[in-house]
Amino acid sequence: MKKPNIILTGFMGTGKTVVGKAVAAALGMRYIDTDLMVEAEAKKSIPVIFETEGEQAFRRYETEAIRRVTHLKGYVVSTGGGAPMLEENLTNMKRAGMVVCLLASPEVILDRTSHTDYRPLLRTPDPMKKILALLKIREPQYKKADHVIDTTTLMVDEVKQKVITLWKKQE
């Protein structure tokens, strides 16, 4: 039986948002981003949540957003890169749909994320060091996804097609 949603997770800069929107459009599904759900609930941006309430508060908002996603059907959902670190989130993501983790090399992640100040975890003198440390911690949880796609050398359309192929192959 096909799971009702496609859940994209993975580190920041791996393409979750752009691929999620492309997959949703191609399959005629709706798209939602848990980061946007968090911002709507908190009535402030994620960087402001980190500054004023801290990362733990952000993670609480994120967990609640993922709980709400479990009740949806026909969605492509992008989650924050740290979402699967909490076992409850990973369980709820798998309950909600087919979980696909997007990965990329640390160098590509740094390149893709260096053009914005919207990444509070990378506001550090050495963002590459932070990326490597976070990837090391998160990798075991990322590998628990139903599927993993390395986006390092792929174009958005290629990743989109891989996700759609996986979606269609579900039993």
- CATH top-level class of 6-169: alpha beta
d(CA 106, CA 20): 21
Task: Give the SS3 label for residue 140.
Answer: helix
Query: Domain limits of the chain?
Result: 6-169
CA 38 to chain centre: 13
Q: Extract the tokens encoding 70.
A: 């479990």
Which pLDDT score is estimated for 114? 77
pLDDT in tens, the chain (171 residues): 677 899 999 998 899 999 999 999 999 999 999 999 999 999 999 889 988 999 899 999 999 999 999 899 999 999 988 999 999 999 999 999 999 999 999 999 888 887 666 555 566 768 889 889 999 999 999 999 999 999 999 999 999 999 999 999 986
Measure the N-to-C terminal CA separation of the chain; round to a whole number of Å.
Answer: 5
- Burial (CB count <10 Å: 0-12, 13-18, 19+), residue 157: exposed
- What is the pLDDT at residue 119? 58
